[in-house]
Amino acid sequence: MAHTHRETAPARLSRRTLVAALGAVAAGAAFGVQRATTAQAAPAPGLDDPAKKEIAMKLVSSAENSSLDWKAQYKYIEDIGDGRGYTAGIIGFCSGTGDMLDLVTLYADREPGNVLARYLPALRRVNGTDSHSGLDPDFPKDWRKAARDTAFQRCQDDERDRVYFDPAVAQGKTDGLRALGQFCYYDAIVMHGDGGDPTSFRNIRKRALRTAKPPARGGDEKTYLNAFLDARVWAMKQEEAHSDTTRVDTEQRVFLRKGNLDLRTPLDWKVYGDSYHIG
């Protein structure tokens, strides 16, 4: 007589346990795949990422100071003959445009009696002009002296961010732009400011919006950035002092043509005929 094999209760329990365990493993694997896919789909860092911001500072310095050593520019000061008086510091604060006055005021608030505080009345008088009245002959020397003070360096960093970097990055993100587009905005606001005149950053952007839509409005990012850079070149050519457009032509457009919308290194570019590299 054949014997029918009957599983004992412990055996049945073991099989159910095994099935449950296998299910848990499969679920875990699926979760792992989902996590990996999510990680791969994560957006690249914006320009406010510390590493990207360092790149941005070097790119601007290559155009403004012919050097990648942007931290050496805290002490920089000269009149470049563009009608804005003295241009100085890491971002080109100008005695004729108000941002230098704001900077020196901040420094005086933080460090009363500093070497530049005595120039505040003169800076108020020359604001809006190219005059050096009340600044010469010692203002450049005293600026360089102040630049050795870490408190003044922090003031320059903070004003750069408040007036130029943070607004540019915020507008770039609002428009759906990645790091390169945010940098294009930043470089434009550094040179042109964000006032009401036709060549200001906001009006360069408006000019671009006439012909292209940014990604946030359903447009193609490269197409929009080309339109923005076209408008930027137009604005630069309105002023003789800014008519050399190589910081656009042989820098920003180089990255754009390569499709490097995230400003990934290595980067190679030229400004005013000089070659630069970030590895």
Q: Where are the alpha helices (DSSP H) in 193-220?
A: 201-209
Buried b or exposed e, range 240-274, using 16+ CB within 10 angstroms = eeeeebbbbebbbbebbeeebbebeeebebebeee
Return the closest-CA partner of residue 236 out of 256, 215, 218, 252.
252
| Angle at alpha carbon of residue 248, lines to 222 and 212, rounded to 5° | 35
- Assess whether 64 carries a catalytic annotation: yes
| Angle at alpha carbon of residue 117, lines to 115 and 121, rounded to 5° | 135
**Residues 167 and 154: beta-carbon distance below 8 Å:** no
Q: How far is CA 20 from CA 32, 43, 84, in A?
A: 18, 36, 75
- Assess whether 240 carries a catalytic annotation: no
Residue in 7, 48, 64, 136 annotated catalytic:
64
Return the closest-CA partner of residue 82 out of 230, 248, 244.
244
Task: Give the residue carrying structure tokens 């608030």.
Answer: 109
**Helix and strand tally (H, E) in the chain?**
12, 5
**Residues 146 and 107: beta-carbon distance below 8 Å:** yes
Residue in 82, 102, 157, 249 annotated catalytic:
82
Catalytic residues: 64, 82
